[in-house]
Chain A
Amino acid sequence: MLDTQGTNDTLLEVNNIEVIYNHVILVLKGVSLSVPKGGITALLGGNGAGKTTTLKAISNLLRSERGEVTKGSIIYRGKRVQDLMPSELVRTGVVQVMEGRHCFEHLTVEENLLTGAYTRSESKAAIAADLELVYSYFPRLKERRRSQAGYTSGGEQQMVAIGRALMSRPETILLDEPSMGLAPQLVEQIFQIVKSLNEKEGYTFLLAEQNTNVALRFAHYGYILENGRVVMDGPAAELRENPDVKEFYLGVSEEGRKSFRDVRSYRRRKRWLS
């Protein structure tokens, strides 16, 4: 597989998975993707495309929502991981930051971060050192360490959620919709931090994002999902230049392209992009 960093070391591989909720509702209809070590991979697509479900299938949080992977396999470092408990997976090095932050509202910011280290049995000093590392990336959190997380702003909660995931010392972070409900400036800031975490600390990211524009600027490789299927994939730079992606996701269209002759193909494309 190609990516801008040129590594071919695949960390996580999802092979043709199907996910069914409540034994009846088919949500993913064969999704395959691979995440290279040290890269930022983006999962793009509209509402209900299956981005969150894909991430939850990987992190094994599906089961608590009565969903299950019925076909295909999820391989991490050459081992099947789809039968692991979420806690075992966190120990393996994969942690998810859920959509909508999901902070522990009645715990302080610092307590939230410390719960992230729940699976670690190292000394207090090692955990305290990581706490400082998190604070160095999110200085704002250090200021607010004693506040109840429920009373912090949306941006701060997103930082808490990412910081909490970092506290488990993961290798791969599944980041679900980090831009949700945040001001553009904050979105930019969060993505900058993700980028430097990726470059300086070597964390691998798989992120699901509706904000295609931002995601494609920071990611190395992208997959576009629609109706539970991958409809397009490629290096982020290529996707950015792709006319369809441009028109339907980035909101840039070339003047005069849409004549009546194009309507049929427009509809066809629209189907997977809506």
Chain B
Amino acid sequence: MPDQLIFAIEVFLNGLMAGVLYALVALGFVLIYKASGIFNYAQGVLALFAALTLVGIMEGQVPFSHLINAVFGTEIHNFGFHVPALLAIALTMVVMVVLAWLVNTLIFRHLVNQEPIILFMATIGLAYFLEGFGDIMWGADIKKLDVGLPQGINGFIDQITLDALGYGFFIDNLDLVATAVAALLVTALVIFAQYTRQGRAMRAVADDHQAALSVGISLNFIWVMVWSLAGFVALVAGIMWGTKSGVQFSLSLIALKALPVLMLGGFTSIPGAIVGGLIIGVGEKMFEFLIGPLVGGATENWFAYVLALLFLVFRPQGLFGEKIIERV
């Protein structure tokens, strides 16, 4: 096999893996959008906040230590113990549920029946607040996150491709884990939404708030549940991204990459988020590989957005989005 082709396949596979991570963030958007019609700009920051909290708990960091030290002149930073990863993940999830409850009680409960743009603005506010809050709570330095996920080149794939093709593919173990987790997460979410009582209620709320109220569904409960689910997805995404590239504030920017993913997959489709993520991931890498050299590179910065723009023109509901049902 020619080297170029083999290299292209490797780029393709790596694109798939990168796409999985985009898809994880996009999933959180879809959940909240489906159930409440809110486009949650803060989803990326939610992932960042989850990752920060996870690291903080694992390291036994004292929350607000800078603030405390500045006010009281103390010098405390750590409790001096380490929390095992699984326990820390569970505790972080508790924090995310409390956050979901707070977000709903303090913000969105008061905005029922408001224009989508108002809800959107509220999430922008939430995003910046959370970013600042995370900073004050856990500090702004880049942190290393290690919850014990395997990392580095997968020796098995490297070896068999080396034997078969004479060239070892570089596939990161972490990407494989992320793929498995994403597949599991999507399956679980689809089953939840389609076949459980609460899942059905969630979809009912998404369709018609008033009608859902009229049959006795509690909107507040459903919304807290959905924000908690989104918090959980954010936590998973935060763990993956954090392990890959460290927990840093640029993590919140990956949320922007989820936007084209959503336009491709459709804002309302859980599988769409995954497929959209994969297409963006692969498209980005392949475009950079094939066309990049001709135009001077750096196409990864804009490729996804141009693709999304094309979709907006020709298929606004995305690949898998719900058709807009309108009776005349």
Assess the A115–B201 pair: CB atoms within 8 A. yes
In the complex, chain B residues whose CB is within 8 Å of the CB of A64? 112-113, 209-210, 213
Assess the B204–A105 pair: CB atoms within 8 A. no
Assess the A90–B211 pair: CB atoms within 8 A. no
Assess the A119–B216 pair: CB atoms within 8 A. yes
B160-219 with Cβ < 8 A to chain A: 197, 200-201, 203-204, 206-218
CB contact between B216 and one of A91, A102, A150, A154 (< 8 Å): that residue? A91
Assess the B207–A105 pair: CB atoms within 8 A. yes
Q: Assuming A64-B112, A102-B208, A114-B200, is B215 touching A165 (CB within 8 A)?
A: yes
Query: Could you tell me the distance in whole angstroms from the C-beta of B36 to the nearest C-beta in chain A?
Result: 14
Closest to B194 in A: A111
CB contact between B322 and one of A91, A106, A118, A119 (< 8 Å): that residue? A106
Of A89, A96, A104, A114, most B-chain CB atoms within 10 Å? A104
Closest to A150 in B: B325
Q: Assuming A64-B113, A64-B209, A104-B211, is B216 touching A111 (CB within 8 A)?
A: no
Q: Assuming A86-B213, A90-B216, A165-B215, is B200 touching A107 (CB within 8 A)?
A: yes
In the complex, chain B residues whose CB is within 8 Å of the CB of A90? 215-216
Give CA–CA (A61, B212) in the complex, Å: 11
A98: Cβ under 8 A from any B Cβ: yes
B293-328 with Cβ < 8 A to chain A: 322, 325, 327
Query: Could you tell me the distance in whole angstroms from the C-beta of B115 to the nearest C-beta in chain A?
Result: 14
Give CA–CA (A104, B113) in the complex, Å: 17
Give CA–CA (A104, B206) in the complex, Å: 9
Closest to B213 in A: A86
What are 6 of the A-B contact pairs (CB < 8 Å)?
Answer: A86-B216, A90-B216, A91-B216, A106-B206, A168-B215, A168-B216
Query: Could you tell me the distance in whole angstroms from the C-beta of B260 to the nearest C-beta in chain A?
Result: 24
Q: Is chain B's interface secondary structure helix, strand, loop, or mixed overall?
A: helix
Give CA–CA (A89, B214) in the complex, Å: 9
A84-123 with Cβ < 8 A to chain B: 85-87, 89-91, 95-98, 102-107, 111-112, 114-116, 118-119
Give CA–CA (A98, B322) in the complex, Å: 24
Query: Could you tell me the distance in whole angstroms from the C-beta of A86 to the nearest C-beta in chain B?
Result: 5
A203-250 with Cβ < 8 A to chain B: none
Give CA–CA (A10, B290) in the complex, Å: 79
Closest to B211 in A: A102
B interface, CB within 8 angstroms of A: 112-113, 197, 200-201, 203-204, 206-218, 322, 325, 327
CB contact between A61 and one of B200, B210, B322 (< 8 Å): that residue? B210
Interface bracket on A: 35 or more
In the complex, chain A residues whose CB is within 8 Å of the CB of B213? 61, 64, 86-87
In the complex, chain A residues whose CB is within 8 Å of the CB of B327? 150, 154
Q: Assuming A104-B208, A118-B197, is B214 touching A59 (CB within 8 A)?
A: yes
CB contact between A115 and one of B112, B217, B322 (< 8 Å): that residue? B217
Q: A105-B325, A114-B197 are in contact. List 17 more A-B contacts (CB 8 A).
A: A61-B210, A64-B112, A64-B213, A85-B218, A86-B216, A98-B211, A103-B211, A105-B208, A106-B325, A107-B203, A107-B207, A115-B212, A116-B215, A118-B217, A150-B325, A150-B327, A164-B215
Closest to B216 in A: A90
Closest to A65 in B: B113
Give CA–CA (A85, B201) in the complex, Å: 17
